[in-house]
A = this chain, B = another copy of it.
Amino acid sequence: MPDEDWTPPPVLLAVDLVIFTLRESALHVLLIERGVDPFRGSLALPGGFLEHDREDVLAAAHRELREEADLDASRLHLEQLGAYGAPDRDPRGRVVSVAYLAIAPGLPEPLAGTDAARASWTPVTEILAGRAELAFDHRDILDDGLERARSKLESSALATAFCATTFTINELQQVYEAVWGVELDLRNFYRKVQAVNDFIVPVGAERRVGRGRPARLFKAGDRTTLYPPLVRPIPATTTKGNP
**CA gap between A226 and B98 in the complex, in Å:** 29
Query: Which of these, B53, B82, B231, contacts A82 with CB under 8 Å?
Result: B82
- Among A203-243, those with CB < 8 Å from B are 225-228, 231, 235, 237-243
Cβ of A24 to closest chain B Cβ, rounded Å: 31
Residues on B with beta carbons closer than 8 Å to the beta carbon of A51? 2, 8-9
Size category of the binding interface on chain A:
35 or more
Q: Which of A26-34, A83-91, A135-143, A162-170 contacts B (4 or more CB under 8 A)?
A: A83-91
**Interface of A (DSSP majority class):** loop
Cβ of A111 to closest chain B Cβ, rounded Å: 16
Residues on B with beta carbons closer than 8 Å to the beta carbon of A242? 195, 197
Query: Which of these, B13, B57, B226, B231, contacts A8 with CB under 8 Å?
Result: B13
**CA gap between A197 and B14 in the complex, in Å:** 43
- Considering only CB atoms, which chain B residue lies closest to A199 in the complex? B241
Query: Which of these, B9, B13, B87, B228, contacts A241 with CB under 8 Å?
Result: B228
Would you list the 3 A-B pairs with minimal beta carbon distance, nearest first?
Answer: A57-B85, A10-B10, A8-B49
